[in-house]
Chain A
Amino acid sequence: MTTATPTVAVGSQETDAPRTTAGRVRKRLNSRTATLVSIVIAVLWTIPTFGLFISSLRPEDEIKTTGWWTAFTNPQFTLENYQQVLFGQSSSSGQLAGYFINSLAITIPSVLFPLAFAALAAYALAWIKFRGRDWLYIAIFALQIVPLQMALVPLLKFFSTGVTLGGVTLMPAWDLVDEQKFAQVWFAHTCFALPFAVFLLHNFISQLPGDLMEAARVDGATHPRIFRTIVLPLITPALAAFGIFQFLWVWNDLLVALIFAGGTAETAPLTVKLAEMAGTRGNEWQRLTAGAFVSIVVPLTVFLSLQRYFVRGLLAGSVKG
């Protein structure tokens, strides 16, 4: 796509005024074309989501017999699908309201725990001197590459039978039922999130000015005090960045929830229910479209309102490597 290249040369408009009229015209055309093409692509990118959204507002018969694009010439809209999928009494309707609460109950602690633990660990790794510090950091860093698939089977077994080593019980069986299974999911998400969380927060915390810490130490402040009063306020943007990451990750996760929360209405989050509906009721588009949007609304709101932090975290996490 050669249309992409001219814009590189166009550059910022103030510093670089083309000397000839022809040049100016060409430049304007180039930047016009670029703008146009980029908008067209952006619109194309949005069409699938838009189509699903329009469909979720159409009556069942209409969805199943005509394409969503006909809604422009023959507009018929209703909130019936949302009503049905959220609060419908029949078991086939989805009853997503309960699953929505499950998603919340899973997500909130799964964000808070790794956030707090990782901040503490990152501070210790950055500012407390002790033997083996670098090795410990490298070890935690390296754990980022272990796919969580490597932990699933034994971790599930730990929960059901506990951990014993040479006859000594290190961790008793959890034996959780119904909504208590949330704890398993919190535990699993926290473990899996920690390596990246420590890495990301360490990137920020280790770059705080050393003079600041030194001054506080001289004044007699202990490490917990420095952590609470100096470090925490300064790393709020980093905490926000990781918090959003983890929120989106947990809310959108399917695999961990499927294994540790199970598929029942007591604990399964929206993603599990939706995936199941897509499999067993693949043609019930009036429910799938509305259901998909119910699951999308929360992360989309979080994402749009906090996009700035998210992008900053993304860049810090990926580019600094």
Chain B
Amino acid sequence: MDFADEQPKLLMLMYGLIAFVVVVGGLLLLLDVVPAWFARRREAQLVAASASGAPLPRRRKQREGLFALFFLLPTVLLLTVGLVVPAIRTTMLSFMDRSSNDWVGLGNYEWMFSDGSIVRVLINTLVWVLLVPLVAASFGLLYAVLVDKARFEAVAKSLIFLPMAISFVGASIIWKFVYAYRGEGDQIGLLNQIVVSLGGEPKQWLLESPLNTLLLIVIMIWIQAGFAMVVLSAAIKAIPADIVEAARLDGVTPWQMFWQITMPSIRPALIVVVVTLSIATLKVFDIVRTATNGNYDTSVIANEMYNQAFRYGESGQGSALAVFLFVLVIPVVIYQIRNLRQQREG
């Protein structure tokens, strides 16, 4: 490593930190100093007025709104420039051609639903969204129930939860190694080793469609099951002990207990988990990019959006895919809002 190469980076990091201190510190200082200055001036006016016997200046209304403005200024500004305006712009671009000069109406959307490879992408995304939330939430729930009050609960939960800290890129490399294939000699991938030791033929797992999409989905489930487990485990522990006790005195079987006590009690948490996982899965990008780069029929919407907009320079088609992604998220969110409202009323 050449240290001279790293210096400008560290310098830039320092500029960033200085900017942070200046902006945030300056804002707070400004908010502290300016009102204090106004207060002093008013005091001086009052003193002057009482000394000269002139009528006291009328007290002005407290200006709460001004404070709010400065507290909110950075957030509102950044959200407008960085999110709201670009989102509107993307929507507009999705109706334009690749150079963003001419309107093409619904052309990009027609392309999306008629081009065979893109239809394949949409189907892949659908498979992802159907499988990941379902399997990850079920597994998380099963594990939460299983591990509840078992010995070593904390350790066992940590191990399942650990993949949450690993980047999708790192996780993809971990699993690519599990799926690794060698034509001759010993296998180095765990999966092929298992297949061989069971008497099967080793395979190039990631090249075989549609199996490869399922194998990528396994990676996502491996990462997200921990999230589902932690949230659901907390929900299970929040079930009032006397309800569980009463049910047990009534002699319910464990099976009934699960379906009639546990499930209804944790339903809100379960919905939150499924909704969160669905949205995360819709946007999945890193796994597909790292493991297969979208080749061999594994691409998903977010991946195709990146390819169209940033590799092929098709900003119209890329934007249309982004808008479609947004449209897919909306019903999921509406479902959650309706559920929340029902809970509040019920």
Q: Which residues of B contact A274 (CB under 8 A)?
A: 169-170, 173, 290
**Does chain B have a CB within 8 A of A24?**
no
Contact of B150 with A38 in the complex, beta carbons under 8 Å: yes
Could you tell me the distance between the alpha carbons of A192 and B75 in the complex, rounded to whole angstroms?
A: 11
Interface of A is mostly: helix
- Chain B residues lying within 8 Å of A182, measured Cβ to Cβ, are 9, 12-13, 16
A47–B288 Cα gap in the complex (Å)? 22
Q: Does A112 contact B (CB under 8 A)?
A: yes
The reply on B123 being an interface residue by CB < 8 A is no
CB distance from A15 to the nearest CB of B (A): 7
- Pair B163/A224 contact, Cβ less than 8 Å: no
Residue contact B187 to A86, C-beta cutoff 8 Å = no
Contact of B188 among A64, A104, A112 (CB under 8 A): A64
Give B150-190 interface residues, CB cut-off 8 Å to A.
150-153, 155-156, 158-170, 172-178, 180, 185-190
Report, as a range, how many residues of chain B touch the other chain.
Answer: 35 or more
With A120-B72, A147-B329, A180-B12 given, is the CB distance from A295 to B170 under 8 Å?
yes
Residue on B with the closest CB to A133? B68
Task: Assess the A8–B258 pair: CB atoms within 8 A.
Answer: yes
Q: Once the chains bind, are B149 and A12 in contact (CB under 8 Å)?
A: yes
Chain A interfacial residues counted at CB < 8 A: 139
**Residues of B contacting A265 with CB < 8 Å?**
5
Whole-angstrom distance from the CB of B181 to the nearest CB of chain A? 10
Decide: A296 and B167 in contact? CB cutoff 8 A: yes
Q: Are B79 and A278 in contact (CB under 8 A)?
A: no
Contact (Cβ within 8 A) B1 A97 = yes
Mark out the residues of chain B between 64 and 92 whose CB falls within 8 Å of any chain A CB in the assembled complex: 64-65, 67-68, 71-72, 74-76, 78-79, 81-87, 89-91
Extra contacts besides A105-B12, A150-B325, A296-B167 (15): CB < 8 Å:
A8-B254, A49-B162, A98-B1, A136-B76, A140-B79, A143-B84, A145-B279, A147-B325, A152-B310, A178-B8, A225-B32, A254-B285, A271-B170, A292-B170, A295-B170
- Residues on A lying within 8 angstroms of B by beta carbon are 1-13, 15-16, 31, 34-35, 37-39, 41-43, 45-49, 51-52, 55, 63-70, 86-87, 95, 97-98, 101-102, 104-105, 108-109, 112-113, 116-118, 120-121, 123-125, 128-131, 133, 136, 140, 143, 145-155, 158, 163, 171, 178-180, 182-183, 186-188, 190-192, 194-195, 198, 222-225, 227-228, 248, 251-255, 258-259, 265-267, 271, 274-275, 278-279, 282, 285, 288-289, 291-292, 295-296, 299-300, 302-304, 307, 311, 314-315, 318-319, 321
B residues with a Cβ closer than 8 A to A are 1, 5-6, 8-13, 16-17, 19-20, 24, 27-28, 31-32, 35, 64-65, 67-68, 71-72, 74-76, 78-79, 81-87, 89-91, 93, 142-143, 145-153, 155-156, 158-170, 172-178, 180, 185-190, 193, 222, 227, 230-231, 234-235, 241, 244-245, 248, 252-255, 257-258, 261-262, 268-269, 272-273, 276, 279, 282-283, 285-286, 289-291, 293, 302, 305-306, 309-310, 315, 318-319, 321-323, 325-326, 329-330, 333, 336, 340
| 9 A-B residue pairs with CB within 8 Å | A5-B255, A8-B145, A9-B257, A102-B9, A113-B20, A124-B71, A191-B83, A279-B290, A318-B276
